[in-house]
Chains A and B, each alone.
Chain A
Amino acid sequence: MKLAVVGKGGSGKTTTAAVIARTLARRGMTVVALDCDTNPNLGISLGVGDEETERLIAMRQALDEGQEEHTPTWDELVDRFGSDAPDGVRLAVVTRIENPEPG
């Protein structure tokens, strides 16, 4: 299944997404959690902590800044730029936070 959690800021999107991801994983499903927020916080709610969340964002940033030699495939991205969260959830950051487009 592919789920997207949306809603107003502060309504609990990130917390809800993280609980769903971990619950599915605990039931034996393979779960990739994608943080598509311009202010990526999903790592915190999944339980990987502050530092690892920031590290993932820095890696995501490096990708845009051309420090990667070729355009990786989706699997490669999740594999190399993702992080293991508890219960076997694989977390990857999709958005970048610096120099965002206006609006």
Chain B
Amino acid sequence: MTGSPAPTLRQGFAALTSERANGDGSGMRVAFVGKGGSGKSAIAGTFARALARRGEPVLTIDSDPMPGLAFSLGLEVVEDAVLDDAVVERQEGEEGPRFRLRPGLTVGEAIERYAAVGPDGVRFLQFGKLRGHVAPLIRSQMAFREITHGLPPNGRWNVVGDLPGGTRQPFAGWGDYAHTFIIVVEPSAKSLLAARRLANLARRGARPTRVVGIANKVSDAGDTDLVRERCGLDVIASIPWDEALAEAERHARAPIDYAPESPAVTAVEKLVARLIEEG
């Protein structure tokens, strides 16, 4: 995405499909992807909190079977309401998907009911975490997909998704709610390679999607250029290497609570402010 001026996050989808009117009050829809450990959860959590502090309704979506985003948002690990009773299973002889939302339960109601309320009013939707066995998660995962797929395209929610590291999930139906994929890249060969693969997969996908990058853990003047050049990405923010973030992770605290004045948190807040202005 180089050459022409980048569309804003809300324009991105409209520009590509002409289906969305800009400035219609609909929320932005972003999903953070990237190599494991690149800082997706820390940035997504801080991004969501900063957005909420500006008065925007924010729904965060965590499809990682390992805990992460909850910490970065400042939530305790949420164990309850893992969606199992949000869906009913197809009866023998019935048509359609194996699980669908319980009759009478709308997507909006499901969010109100199942998405935990975090600091600054951020809502948090997950499907439960792995505990040694995969089977019990399937029902919850199907409910999760019913809800995320059913989000109205021009809804008022700002949606901030945090996807698991690597290339497995993002383009296999788990990030379909996103209008913009934000690839978090740190200046390492492995992270750059993963980002390049993700960018290629996103561009090859069936849905029109905007793909941008965030250079994270930047400590050298050339780091951001490296991300831009090696991944062919429009880099919308550079987040400096910040020991305070590592400290926050050690203590399982949200960066925005633990180190609100830190350079990394400030950089994410600036990005949010800019996106809202462009909105």
Contact = CB atoms under 8 A, between A and B. Distances in A.
Tell me whether A and B are bound partners. yes
Interface of A: 8-11, 14, 37-39, 41, 44-45, 50, 53-54, 97-103
Interface of B: 35-38, 66, 141, 164-169, 172-174, 189-190, 193-194, 197, 201
A8 B166 CA distance: 11
A10 B38 contact: yes
A13 B246 CA distance: 19
Chain A contact residues, majority secondary structure: loop
Contacts of B201: 97-98
Task: List 5 tightest A-B contacts by C-beta distance, closest first.
Answer: A10-B37, A9-B36, A9-B165, A39-B166, A38-B168
Contacts of B36: 8-11, 39
Given A8-B37, A9-B35, A41-B35, 7 more contacts: A9-B36, A10-B165, A14-B190, A44-B193, A97-B197, A100-B172, A103-B169
B214 to A, nearest CB: 15
A87 B166 CA distance: 28
Contacts of A99: 172
Nearest to B36: A9
Contacts of B173: 102
Contacts of B197: 39, 97
Nearest to B65: A103
Nearest to B66: A8
B193 A102 contact: no
Contacts of A100: 167-169, 172
Contacts of B194: 39, 41
Contacts of A53: 193
Nearest to A39: B166
A53 B172 CA distance: 23
21 contacts: A9-B36, A9-B37, A10-B36, A37-B166, A39-B36, A39-B166, A39-B167, A39-B168, A39-B197, A41-B193, A44-B193, A50-B193, A53-B193, A97-B197, A97-B201, A98-B201, A100-B168, A100-B172, A101-B172, A103-B141, A103-B168
A5 to B, nearest CB: 13
A99 B205 CA distance: 10
Nearest to B171: A100
A18 B244 CA distance: 30
A44 B169 contact: no
A103 B193 CA distance: 22
A94 B91 CA distance: 38
Contacts of B190: 14, 41, 44-45
A97 B204 CA distance: 13
Contact of B172 (A10, A11, A39, A102): A102
